[in-house]
Every structure is written in structure tokens, then in C-alpha cells.
A and B are shown apart, each in its own frame.
Chain A
Amino acid sequence: MSREKSTWVVPPALRGWVLPLLILVVWWWAVASGWSTSPLLVSPAAVWERAVQQVTSGELWTALSASLWRNARGFALGASLGLAFGVLLGWSRWADRLVGPSFHTLKQISLFAWIPILSMWFGLGDGAKVAFIAMAAFFPMVLNTFEGLRSVPREYIEVGRVYGFGLWQQLTRVIAPSAAPSVFTGVQLALIYSWLATLGGEYLMASGKGIGNTLIDGREHFWMDLVLFGVVVIGLVGYALNALTSALERRLLAWRDRTVGRY
């Protein structure tokens, strides 16, 4: 223990910051010392200035709120459809046999391959983007819900039968809580995928406002600082989404948090 103390001067809570700070220092040094004079690598200070400009002018808020709103709609649509579809496939062997093969074929298709079809159907406006985001959320949600329902131990169902549980009681008292961890993994993945898809959609179906459009803007004007700023914002939003779901999981699935192994 004492050895560990001597090697680690940073308190555990702050250790996550060590690597980003280190990269920032190296980056700053590379530009300031003249080691890199490429216009592709602007200084951290320039990015910071751009950040201040974006925040104060309200441009960041316009772009970010458009992206988040789009993301929220796509996620809500895709995740709820995915949940319903996953429950159907998991619940009914008949439905699984009927539509399972088609579903498993469709899920093999790269999401981006859908963009041409989606943009032909819905144009390049918000409709196509939301549909694209919804698809990104849909697949992980279906798969994990299905998996959760199918892995409910038969032993638990038998306990329900012994106590005379009807279908509704089995569903709410046994199946739902037993499948919850897996379903929650689906929600988590759907959130992450939908955020990735939000950016992908905005970038590939460029129209309107959004963080993806901010990136395009930066590229077209060769404003490297804007591009880098956009990337940082995207990363931070992803981090926030992940932190949100982790906190939610700790609350809702507290019983599980204490049964899994710690390494």
C-alpha cells in the first residue's frame, strides 16, 4: 500500500485527468516550441479562443441544442421501438422464428449503408437524420432486450408458478426484474450509438444546424481550431451521456452492482 502511495501523487478521484492534461501539455509544447508549424495543428490557445467565441456568440448553444434535440428524438423513437420489438422476439418463439432471420440479416448491414435509402425517402432534412439515429438505437436495444428475456432462469419462473403467479405477475415480478440488467445495457448502448449516429447523420446529410455541421463549417473554411473545438464538445457530450446512464444504473440496479465481481 505504501508503495502505491509513493508512486501515485495524484488522488484517485483525479487520476482520470492525468492523461488528458498530459496530452494538452505536449500539444501546447509542440506548437509553442515550434516543433510543429503545420497549419493542421493549431495551438490550444487558439482552440480556447474559438471556444470562448462560440459560447459567447451563442453559436455553440444553437448547434448543440439542435444536435441534442435530434439525438433525443431519434433515441426515444429507436429505443422504444427496439424495446417493444425485443420483447416480442424474446417473448414469442413464433415471432422469433418468423422475423428473427430477417432481423439478424438487417442488423449485419452497416448503419451508414442506410443513409442513401433514408435520404431518398426522407430527404436531407431532420426526418432522415432522426430516422438514422433511431436505427442506431434500435438494434442494440432489440438485441439486449431479447437476450434479457431469453436468459430469465427457468428456476425463477418455477418459483412464480409455485406461488400461483399469473402471466402479469410473472412478467412484472419475475421476468422484468430478471431481464432488467440486460435491457439496461441495451439502453446504454443505444444512447452511445445514437450519439455517434447523430454526428454521422449530421455530417453525411449536411443541412441545418448541429455540431456535425459545425465540423463541416470548420473543415470548409480550414478553421482547424473550430474542428478541434467541435471534437472536444462531442467527446464531452458522450462522456456526460455515459456518466448519466452509469449513475442511473447504480440507482436502479443497486442489487446487481454489489453482486458482480471487482477486479
Chain B
Amino acid sequence: MAHAGTLDIRGLNKQYEVKGQPLPVLQDIHLTIAPGEFVSIVGTSGCGKSTLLRLVIGLEEGYEGEILLDGARIQGTNLNRGIVFQEHRLFPWLTVEKNIALGLLNADLTEGQQRETIREHIELVGLKGFEKAYPHQLSGGMSQRVAIARALVNRPDILLLDEPFGALDAMTRAHLQQELHRIWQTEGITMILVTHDVEEAVYLGDKVVVMEPRPGRIRRTVPVPLAHPRDRANPEFAFIRNAVLGELGEPGGAALAEPPWRPVRPDPAWNIGRWQFAV
């Protein structure tokens, strides 16, 4: 059922022009994401992780290097890539089902198929009974579920998530993380999650890409070789989480976590694409 494609980012450079001066945002990004993989990207603000997602979705253009999906260069947006933004971005003038239906506006489906797909996806995100509700009648968590359903309704190969749970309270967030994990397993698609929540990144990711700012670069990729569902209290989980936290800290601070973390440090050769889980 996994119909996902391989995303290959090679030598990606991106810069903005600020007052006539070039400002590098992303520098020499190399990243390969296997079909069905869940990749978390963490980094402090300003490390270009959101820009990276916007490039992959196709909202941002003008870059050096290559972003390839199954070998084809990404150009503009496409229904085979979906995105969930930090704000739900639902249209306030449409009900839940009409908001989701908007995602299918350019899909090749009959009306009956559309209705069926919408119903399935409302069920998938657990919002049965809220079809006719307007966004202002929903909580933040529910709105984000609708946004996830809208992003998935075209059955994209890749789902991009740009800090989707950042604005939610801790309990809702933990719950939605479980839900997202379940959806990832049932849909079998590739997911790329940008977050600043390290625990979230480790909880969900097959690997965690740690980025550093000014200009945005990949500092390290930490594999998460733990079986699902993951237990946050598990010592191995804490071990990996601390490794990621160490990478995020100052170079001096990272030394603190140096010796015991050695085994986790990936060997570049087996780092990429190794940690996949059957779905």
C-alpha cells in the first residue's frame, strides 16, 4: 500500500536578498528520504527548516542544487505532496467537510468518490459528527486534525508537517502525536516533520535531522532505531533524545554528552535510509 516516492535533496543552497545583500538561508543540504520513512527535522529558529519544507512543497522557488522526487525535479506545487502548516489555515467561511473538499478540487475523482474520500478522511482524523461544523466552532487540536485530513485527502506520496502541533497545549499535542503516528502507519506514506520539540521528533521519527542556523545546515542526522509504539520513559528513548538535545546545544555543551553517545553517532555510510520500519 505504500505508494510513496523517494525524496532526494542534493547540494541544496537557498538564499534571500536582504537590502541588496545575499543572505544564505540554507547551505549544502544533502538528504535522502526513503519511501514510507518518517523524518523529523529539528533546529533552533532561523535554521531554515521551514524554508526547506516550503521548497519541498513548491511554495518557494529559486534555489541551487536539486530536490528530486523519484528522480524528477520538483517544480511548483503538486497534489502528490501535502502540507500541514503551523496554523491550521482552514477557511472560516467553509464547514469542515467543505474545507476538506477544497483539497480535492483538482483531483480526478467523481463526485461520489469525492464524498467517500472526504468521509474516510474525516473518520481517519477522528472527527465524525463534525462534518458541518465551522472552524470557529472547533478547538485548536480539532482544527489541526481537519488540516491533516485536508492535506491527506489527495493521498499524497509525501506529507510535510511544519510545526503542526506547536500552538497546542501539551496534552492535545501528545494525543495528536499518537494520532499522527497511527495515520502514518495506516497510510504508509513518507512524512517529514519540522518541529522544535525534540521529544516529538524522537517519538515520531525514524531519524532526526538536526539543523544549525546562520546559515541553515544539517549538523547531524540521528537515527532512532526503536520499535513503535515508543515509550518516552524507556532509557534508550531518553538516550537518543539527549543525543539530539546535545547536538542542538552549543559545541561546548555537547561535550557533556560526548562519551556515552558515541554509539549513537551515525556512521555516514549506514546513516541514510537504513532505519525504516515496515508499515
- Which residues of A are in contact with B by a Cβ distance under 8 Å? 155-156, 158-159, 161-165, 169, 173-174, 177-178, 180, 253, 255-256, 258-259
Q: Is the interface of B mostly helix, strand, loop or mixed?
A: loop
The answer to whether A259 and B136 have CB atoms under 8 Å apart is yes
Does B134 belong to the interface (CB within 8 Å)? yes
10 A-B pairs in the complex with CB atoms less than 8 angstroms apart: A162-B57, A163-B103, A163-B106, A164-B77, A178-B93, A180-B93, A255-B93, A255-B134, A258-B136, A259-B136
The answer to whether B106 and A165 have CB atoms under 8 Å apart is yes
With A161-B59, A162-B57, A162-B82 given, is the CB distance from A156 to B89 under 8 Å? yes
Tell me the nearest residue of chain B to A160, going by C-beta: B102
Tell me the nearest residue of chain A to B147, going by C-beta: A159
Contacts of B91 in A (CB 8 A): 156, 159, 174, 177-178
Contacts of A155 in B (CB 8 A): 85, 87, 89
Contacts of B134 in A (CB 8 A): 255, 258
Does B92 belong to the interface (CB within 8 Å)? yes
Q: How far is the CB of A161 from chain B (nearest CB, A)?
A: 5
Which of B77, B82, B103 is A161 in contact with, Cβ under 8 Å? B77
CB proximity to A under 8 Å, residues B206-258: none
Contacts of A253 in B (CB 8 A): 93
Contacts of B58 in A (CB 8 A): 161
Q: How far is the CB of B207 from chain A (nearest CB, A)?
A: 25
With A156-B91, A177-B93, A258-B136 given, is the CB distance from A162 to B105 under 8 Å? no
Complex: A178 Cα to B77 Cα, angstroms:
22
CB proximity to A under 8 Å, residues B64-99: 76-79, 82-83, 85, 87, 89, 91-94
Complex: A252 Cα to B94 Cα, angstroms:
12
Smallest CB-CB A-B distances: 7 pairs: A164-B106, A259-B136, A177-B93, A255-B93, A162-B77, A159-B89, A161-B77
Other 11 A-B pairs with CB < 8 A, given A158-B89, A178-B93, A255-B136: A155-B85, A156-B91, A161-B76, A163-B103, A164-B77, A164-B106, A169-B105, A255-B93, A255-B134, A256-B92, A258-B134
CB proximity to A under 8 Å, residues B144-160: 154
Q: How many residues on chain B are close to A (CB under 8 Å)?
A: 24
Tell me the nearest residue of chain A to B57, going by C-beta: A162
Complex: A206 Cα to B94 Cα, angstroms:
50
The answer to whether B89 and A163 have CB atoms under 8 Å apart is no
Contacts of A173 in B (CB 8 A): 102, 105
Q: How far is the CB of A22 from chain B (nearest CB, A)?
A: 39
Q: How far is the CB of A219 from chain B (nearest CB, A)?
A: 49
Complex: A178 Cα to B83 Cα, angstroms:
21
The answer to whether A163 and B85 have CB atoms under 8 Å apart is no
Contacts of A258 in B (CB 8 A): 134, 136-137
The answer to whether A164 and B59 have CB atoms under 8 Å apart is no
The answer to whether B102 and A163 have CB atoms under 8 Å apart is yes
Complex: A173 Cα to B85 Cα, angstroms:
19
Q: How far is the CB of A136 from chain B (nearest CB, A)?
A: 30
Complex: A41 Cα to B146 Cα, angstroms:
65
The answer to whether B105 and A165 have CB atoms under 8 Å apart is yes
Contacts of B77 in A (CB 8 A): 161-164
Tell me the nearest residue of chain B to A174, going by C-beta: B91
The answer to whether A162 and B136 have CB atoms under 8 Å apart is no
Binary CB contact string for chain B from 141 to 178 against chain A (1 if under 8 A, 0 otherwise): 00000000000001000000000000000000000000
Tell me the nearest residue of chain A to B106, going by C-beta: A164
Tell me the nearest residue of chain B to A173, going by C-beta: B102
Contacts of B82 in A (CB 8 A): 162
Complex: A180 Cα to B91 Cα, angstroms:
13
Binary CB contact string for chain B from 98 to 111 against chain A (1 if under 8 A, 0 otherwise): 00001101100000
Q: How far is the CB of B13 from chain A (nearest CB, A)?
A: 23
Q: How far is the CB of B206 from chain A (nearest CB, A)?
A: 25
Complex: A60 Cα to B29 Cα, angstroms:
79
Q: How far is the CB of A253 from chain B (nearest CB, A)?
A: 8
Complex: A58 Cα to B85 Cα, angstroms:
64
Complex: A255 Cα to B82 Cα, angstroms:
27
Complex: A176 Cα to B81 Cα, angstroms:
26
Contacts of A156 in B (CB 8 A): 89, 91
Contacts of B105 in A (CB 8 A): 163-165, 169, 173
Contacts of A169 in B (CB 8 A): 105-106
Q: How far is the CB of B194 from chain A (nearest CB, A)?
A: 16
